[in-house]
């Protein structure tokens, strides 16, 4: 099991967005809203990476980083709200691995997390599916989903949609949620486009298996369910 990513962010709405994105992308996460809790979780969970907001209620994120660095080389990505903070992150050479200024795109953050983990030599996070599912396996490095060992030839959006579904088995995703997962600019996409991609994914799956794993929930959306053997 991959070590979790520790999110230190006091604004719940921002934390929720990050958690949703990272979990959808197959990471496990632990969230805290203060620096004090962060130090406790750092000891308890030995996270693979920390996403650290600079503006915390009890301690400045930059100070917290110094404290963390006394005991750990865990990669850190800073979240900053102000440009002068960026100057300090860069100038002080605190050992930050990357930073993003708010507002940021959750997809961008997820990509940075993956890149930092790769650079730091931590094994790139395995999507949950790779461990828990025998039926479908996601290979993030090859951007490929295979079914019982046979690669399924998916287009980019199809891959992203299927990964989002697989990452949370049985959870019903609305079309909007799937758009958010799969499109760089979800606003330019329609419900019908999601339906069309689902239809295409199903027909591609049918080439390798006669078992149905994407369930339609009328009026709601779609979910992934592992077929019973």
Q: How far is it, in rounded angstroms, from Cα 226 to Cα 229?
A: 9
Instruction: Please identify, using beta-carbon distances, which residue of 79 and 163 lies nearer to Ca ion.
Output: 79
Q: At closest approach, how far in Å is the CB of 23 from Ca ion? A: 21
- For residues 225 and 149, give the distance between their C-alpha atoms in angstroms, rounded to a whole number: 18
Angstrom distance (rounded) from CA 106 to CA 128: 19
The window from 22-30, 50-58, 178-186, 198-206 that contacts Ca ion (CB under 5 A) reads 50-58
- Residue at token pair 């406790």: 40
Query: Is residue 97 close enough to count as binding Ca ion by CB under 5 A?
Result: no
Only one of the segments 7-15, 41-49, 107-115, 185-193 lies at the binding site for Ca ion (rule: CB under 5 A); that segment is: 7-15
Residues in region 51-80 near Ca ion by CB under 5 A: 53, 55
The minimum distance between CB 14 and Ca ion, in angstroms, equals 8
**Of 8-16, 27-35, 152-160, 217-225, which part binds Ca ion (CB under 5 A)?**
8-16
Residue number, 80 or 157, with CB nearest to Ca ion: 80
Least gap, CB of 53 to Ca ion (angstroms): 5
Q: Residue 93 CB, nearest distance to Ca ion (Å)?
A: 23
Of the residues 10, 23, 139, 195, which one makes contact with Ca ion according to CB under 5 A: 10
Closest approach of Cβ 52 to Ca ion, in Å? 10
For residue 123, with 0-12 CB atoms within 10 Å meaning exposed, 13-18 middle and 19 or more buried, which class applies? exposed
Q: Which residues bind Ca ion (CB under 5 A)?
A: 10, 53, 55
């Amino acid at each position: 099991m991959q070590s979790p990513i520790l999110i230190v962010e006091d604004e719940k709405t921002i934390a929720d967005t990050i958690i949703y994105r990272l979990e959808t992308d197959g990471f496990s996460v632990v969230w805290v809203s203060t620096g004090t809790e962060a130090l406790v979780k750092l000891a308890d969970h030995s996270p693979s990476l920390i996403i650290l907001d600079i503006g915390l209620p009890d301690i400045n994120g930059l100070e917290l980083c110094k404290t963390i660095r006394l005991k750990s080389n865990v990669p850190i990505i800073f979240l900053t709200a102000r440009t002068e903070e960026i100057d300090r992150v860069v100038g002080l050479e605190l050992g930050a691995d990357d930073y993003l200024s708010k507002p940021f795109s959750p997809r961008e953050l997820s990509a940075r997390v993956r890149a930092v983990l790769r650079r730091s030599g931590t094994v790139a996070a395995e999507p949950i599916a790779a461990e828990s599912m025998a039926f479908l396996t996601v290979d993030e490095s090859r951007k490929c989903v295979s079914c019982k060992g046979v690669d399924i030839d998916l287009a980019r959006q199809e891959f992203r949609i299927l990964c989002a579904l697989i990452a949370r088995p049985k959870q019903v995703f609305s079309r909007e949620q799937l758009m958010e997962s799969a499109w760089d600019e979800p606003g330019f996409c329609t419900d019908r486009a999601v339906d069309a991609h689902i239809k295409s994914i199903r027909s591609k799956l049918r080439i390798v298996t006669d078992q149905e794993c994407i369930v339609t929930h009328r009026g709601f959306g779609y979910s992934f369910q592992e077929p019973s053997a």
